[in-house]
Amino acid sequence: MNPVIALVGRPNVGKSTLFNRLTRSRDAIVADYPGLTRDRQYGNGVLGGKSYTVIDTGGIGGEDEGIEAVMADQSLLAIDEADIVLFMVDARAGLMPDDEAIANHLRVNQKKTWLVVNKADGMQEEVAGAEFWSLGLGDPHPIAAAHGRNVTTLIEHVLEPF
């Protein structure tokens, strides 16, 4: 069984951009996954000889959908299905109340969670991550999904136990 990586976070933080990058491998196929719904997208990738499955919680959110609804459906299902959660925040937008609400859920979840600070392009890494330490999810990991900065290193690290 491939390790399953769920991409979770507010709308517009770059989840789909990272999903596309992680599934752009020659071996990538859309996973034939039971329970597939319109709002969760599954893909496969390979890195350093290790295969993995990624879930993009693509259909969630929308400015008027409350955090309860967001966490209640697609994100929770994706977290349930995952071995690893990549919780994505946006270095440019900064720390938002919904980030804290999602973090509160993830802190009590048993799944291994990585705090990924996207859109760190053009920023010093320490500066990009600084305000997200307060989420209580450990080290912030700055990346730029759109440009690939730090993405391979992060995913190799994430896949180490598998």
| Annotated binding-site ranges for GTP | 9-16, 56-60, 118-121
Binding residues: 9-16, 56-60, 118-121
To which residue do tokens 């697609």 refer?
74
Binding mask 10-49 for ligand GDP (x = CB under 6 A): -xxxxxxx--------------------------------
Contacts of 38 (CB under 8 A, 6+ apart): 59
**Can you give the binding site for Mg ion, defined by CB under 5 A?**
15-16, 58
Q: How many CB atoms lie within 10 A of CB 123?
A: 15
- In order of 12, 86, 91, 120, 142, the CA distances from 124 in angstroms are 21, 21, 11, 7, 9
Which one of Mg ion, ligand GDP, none is in contact with 78 (Cβ closer than 5 to 8 A by kind)?
A: none
Q: Is 119 in the site for ligand GDP (CB under 6 A)?
A: yes
Which one of Mg ion, ligand GDP, none is in contact with 124 (Cβ closer than 5 to 8 A by kind)?
A: none
